[in-house]
Protein backbone atom coordinates (compact mmCIF):
# COMPACT_ATOMS: atom_id res chain seq x y z
CA UNK A 1 0.00 0.00 0.00
CA UNK A 2 1.33 3.42 -0.96
CA UNK A 3 1.20 6.04 1.79
CA UNK A 4 2.65 8.76 -0.34
CA UNK A 5 1.82 9.41 -3.94
CA UNK A 6 3.27 12.11 -6.10
CA UNK A 7 0.69 14.72 -7.16
CA UNK A 8 -1.40 13.74 -10.18
CA UNK A 9 -0.94 9.99 -9.79
CA UNK A 10 -4.12 9.13 -7.87
CA UNK A 11 -5.77 5.97 -9.21
CA UNK A 12 -2.81 4.86 -11.30
CA UNK A 13 -0.41 2.08 -10.65
CA UNK A 14 3.05 3.33 -9.97
CA UNK A 15 5.80 1.50 -11.68
CA UNK A 16 9.01 0.76 -9.88
CA UNK A 17 11.93 2.92 -10.83
CA UNK A 18 14.47 1.20 -13.03
CA UNK A 19 17.63 0.08 -11.25
CA UNK A 20 20.44 2.60 -11.45
CA UNK A 21 22.93 2.07 -14.21
CA UNK A 22 26.30 0.87 -13.14
CA UNK A 23 28.57 3.88 -12.78
CA UNK A 24 32.19 3.09 -13.57
CA UNK A 25 33.40 5.91 -11.25
CA UNK A 26 32.60 5.86 -7.53
CA UNK A 27 30.35 8.65 -6.32
CA UNK A 28 29.67 10.11 -2.94
CA UNK A 29 26.27 11.49 -2.12
CA UNK A 30 25.27 13.33 1.06
CA UNK A 31 21.80 14.14 2.17
CA UNK A 32 21.57 17.11 4.52
CA UNK A 33 18.48 17.67 6.54
CA UNK A 34 18.09 20.48 9.05
CA UNK A 35 15.34 21.08 11.47
CA UNK A 36 14.72 24.79 11.90
CA UNK A 37 13.36 24.04 15.35
CA UNK A 38 16.63 22.32 16.35
CA UNK A 39 18.70 25.22 15.00
CA UNK A 40 16.53 27.77 16.81
CA UNK A 41 16.82 25.76 20.05
CA UNK A 42 20.60 25.61 19.77
CA UNK A 43 20.80 29.36 19.11
CA UNK A 44 18.56 30.06 22.12
CA UNK A 45 20.73 27.89 24.40
CA UNK A 46 23.84 29.67 23.12
CA UNK A 47 22.26 33.09 23.78
CA UNK A 48 21.28 32.04 27.33
CA UNK A 49 24.82 30.78 27.97
CA UNK A 50 26.36 34.04 26.75
CA UNK A 51 23.99 36.09 28.93
CA UNK A 52 24.80 33.95 31.98
CA UNK A 53 28.53 34.32 31.33
CA UNK A 54 28.23 38.08 30.80
CA UNK A 55 26.38 38.51 34.09
CA UNK A 56 29.07 36.50 35.92
CA UNK A 57 31.89 38.85 34.83
CA UNK A 58 31.56 42.56 35.55
CA UNK A 59 33.66 45.53 36.65
CA UNK A 60 32.81 46.86 40.10
CA UNK A 61 33.69 49.90 42.16
CA UNK A 62 35.92 49.13 45.11
CA UNK A 63 35.97 51.57 48.03
CA UNK A 64 39.39 53.17 48.40
CA UNK A 65 41.61 52.21 51.29
CA UNK A 66 42.29 55.60 52.70
CA UNK A 67 43.77 57.35 55.66
CA UNK A 68 45.54 54.45 57.33
CA UNK A 69 48.66 55.24 59.33
CA UNK A 70 51.98 53.38 59.64
CA UNK A 71 50.97 51.99 63.03
CA UNK A 72 48.21 50.01 61.30
CA UNK A 73 50.62 48.12 58.99
CA UNK A 74 50.28 45.36 58.03
CA UNK A 75 46.83 46.68 57.17
CA UNK A 76 43.97 44.50 55.98
CA UNK A 77 40.64 46.08 55.10
CA UNK A 78 37.92 43.42 54.93
CA UNK A 79 36.19 45.00 51.94
CA UNK A 80 39.33 44.66 49.85
CA UNK A 81 38.71 41.12 48.69
CA UNK A 82 35.92 39.26 46.92
CA UNK A 83 32.94 37.77 48.74
CA UNK A 84 32.40 34.00 48.85
CA UNK A 85 31.60 32.60 45.41
CA UNK A 86 33.51 35.38 43.63
CA UNK A 87 37.05 36.21 42.50
CA UNK A 88 38.64 39.51 41.56
CA UNK A 89 40.86 40.29 38.59
CA UNK A 90 42.78 43.38 39.65
CA UNK A 91 43.21 45.77 36.74
CA UNK A 92 44.92 48.65 38.53
CA UNK A 93 46.28 49.54 41.97
CA UNK A 94 47.13 53.18 42.64
CA UNK A 95 48.96 54.46 45.70
CA UNK A 96 49.37 58.06 46.79
CA UNK A 97 50.82 60.01 49.70
CA UNK A 98 54.07 58.07 50.06
CA UNK A 99 56.91 60.03 51.65
CA UNK A 100 60.39 59.99 50.14
CA UNK A 101 61.62 57.21 52.50
CA UNK A 102 58.50 55.02 52.32
CA UNK A 103 58.25 51.58 50.83
CA UNK A 104 54.74 50.12 50.49
CA UNK A 105 54.32 46.41 49.80
CA UNK A 106 51.00 44.97 48.61
CA UNK A 107 50.23 41.33 49.36
CA UNK A 108 47.34 38.93 48.84
CA UNK A 109 46.29 36.69 51.68
CA UNK A 110 43.66 35.60 54.17
CA UNK A 111 45.20 37.32 57.21
CA UNK A 112 47.93 39.82 58.06
CA UNK A 113 50.30 36.90 58.75
CA UNK A 114 50.35 36.32 54.97
CA UNK A 115 52.12 39.68 54.51
CA UNK A 116 55.68 38.42 54.78
CA UNK A 117 58.35 37.26 52.38
CA UNK A 118 57.76 37.10 48.67
CA UNK A 119 55.29 34.22 48.35
CA UNK A 120 52.18 36.43 48.51
CA UNK A 121 53.82 39.71 47.42
CA UNK A 122 52.02 41.36 44.51
CA UNK A 123 53.73 44.72 44.09
CA UNK A 124 56.01 47.18 45.84
CA UNK A 125 55.89 50.97 45.64
CA UNK A 126 58.83 53.25 46.54
CA UNK A 127 58.14 56.65 48.05
CA UNK A 128 58.56 59.77 46.02
CA UNK A 129 57.28 63.00 47.49
CA UNK A 130 53.92 63.88 45.96
CA UNK A 131 53.98 61.15 43.30
CA UNK A 132 51.02 58.94 42.47
CA UNK A 133 52.05 55.46 41.37
CA UNK A 134 50.00 52.81 39.60
CA UNK A 135 50.39 49.09 38.93
CA UNK A 136 48.46 47.54 36.05
CA UNK A 137 48.98 43.76 36.03
CA UNK A 138 46.88 43.16 32.90
CA UNK A 139 43.45 41.64 32.38
CA UNK A 140 44.22 38.33 34.08
CA UNK A 141 47.62 39.04 35.65
CA UNK A 142 46.41 39.20 39.26
CA UNK A 143 43.49 37.05 40.42
CA UNK A 144 42.35 37.26 44.05
CA UNK A 145 40.35 34.25 45.32
CA UNK A 146 37.27 34.41 47.56
CA UNK A 147 39.23 33.72 50.74
CA UNK A 148 41.87 36.39 50.05
CA UNK A 149 42.20 40.16 50.58
CA UNK A 150 44.67 42.88 49.71
CA UNK A 151 47.10 43.48 52.57
CA UNK A 152 49.34 46.56 52.81
CA UNK A 153 52.67 46.49 54.62
CA UNK A 154 56.16 47.89 54.24
CA UNK A 155 58.36 50.60 55.67
CA UNK A 156 55.89 53.41 56.15
CA UNK A 157 56.93 56.54 58.01
CA UNK A 158 54.44 59.25 57.12
CA UNK A 159 50.83 58.91 56.17
CA UNK A 160 47.98 58.88 56.00
CA UNK A 161 48.22 56.63 52.95
CA UNK A 162 45.74 56.14 50.11
CA UNK A 163 45.27 53.07 47.92
CA UNK A 164 42.57 52.46 45.32
CA UNK A 165 41.86 49.90 42.62
CA UNK A 166 39.91 48.91 39.55
CA UNK A 167 38.75 45.30 39.59
CA UNK A 168 36.66 42.93 37.54
CA UNK A 169 34.51 40.68 39.71
CA UNK A 170 33.97 37.13 38.48
CA UNK A 171 31.75 34.35 39.79
CA UNK A 172 34.01 31.46 40.78
CA UNK A 173 32.54 29.05 38.19
CA UNK A 174 33.32 31.58 35.41
CA UNK A 175 37.03 32.15 36.23
CA UNK A 176 38.28 29.56 33.69
CA UNK A 177 36.22 31.23 30.94
CA UNK A 178 37.57 34.66 31.94
CA UNK A 179 41.12 33.34 31.68
CA UNK A 180 40.65 32.07 28.11
Q: What residues contact 67, with CB distance under 8 A and at least 6 apart?
A: 159, 160, 161, 162
User: Are the CB atoms for 167 and 60 separated by under 8 Å?
Assistant: yes
Domain boundaries defined on the chain: 59-179
pLDDT per residue as tens digits for the range 149-160: 888 888 888 777
Closest CA to 163 of 138, 134, 120: 134
Fold classification of 59-179 (topology level): Jelly Rolls (2.60.120)
**What pLDDT was estimated at residue 132?**
86
- What whole-number distance in Å separates Cα of residue 59 and Cα of residue 139? 11
> Could you read off the pLDDT of 31-49 as tens digits, one per residue?
556 677 888 889 999 999 9
Amino acid sequence: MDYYRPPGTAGTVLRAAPPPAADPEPRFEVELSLSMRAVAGALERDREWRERLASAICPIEVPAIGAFLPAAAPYLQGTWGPNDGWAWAIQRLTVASLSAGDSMLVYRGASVSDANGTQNLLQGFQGSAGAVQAWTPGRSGCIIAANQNIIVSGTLTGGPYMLNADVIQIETWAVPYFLL
